[in-house]
């Protein structure tokens, strides 16, 4: 019973936070830019994984890798690639 109360409080507070964020015009623009970065990062990782049969190199498409590439961009992809090659070899 306590778990339902905790989840209810978390969902309610998350909804109130979303309501407060969406009332501000700057926040909507910020969320749009963030969404664009996340989509671009996912597409970039997907395109890189399309070449896996030729390069035998694969980066997983998960929240961590998408987050790193979203924040850092192309240099983030290079960092992930170098890290993967360094750990493998």
Q: Is 45 exposed, middle or buried (0-12, 13-18, 19+ CB in 10 A)?
A: buried
pLDDT at 42: 95
pLDDT tens column, 34-45: 999 999 999 999
**Cα–Cα distance, 41 to 86 (Å, whole number):** 22
Q: In the structure encoding, which two tokens stand for residue 11, read together?
A: 């969902």
pLDDT tens column, 9-28: 999 999 998 888 888 888 78
**Cα–Cα distance, 50 to 57 (Å, whole number):** 10
pTM of the predicted model, to two decimals? 0.71
């Amino acid at each position: 019973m306590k778990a339902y109360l905790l989840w209810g409080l978390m969902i309610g507070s998350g909804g109130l936070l979303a309501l407060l964020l969406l009332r501000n015009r700057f926040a909507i623009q910020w969320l749009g830019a963030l969404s664009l970065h996340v989509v671009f990062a996912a597409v970039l990782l997907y395109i890189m994984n399309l070449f896996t049969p030729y390069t035998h190199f694969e980066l997983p498409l998960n929240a961590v890798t998408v987050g790193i590439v979203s924040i850092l961009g192309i240099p983030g992809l290079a960092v992930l690639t170098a890290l993967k090659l360094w750990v493998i070899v």
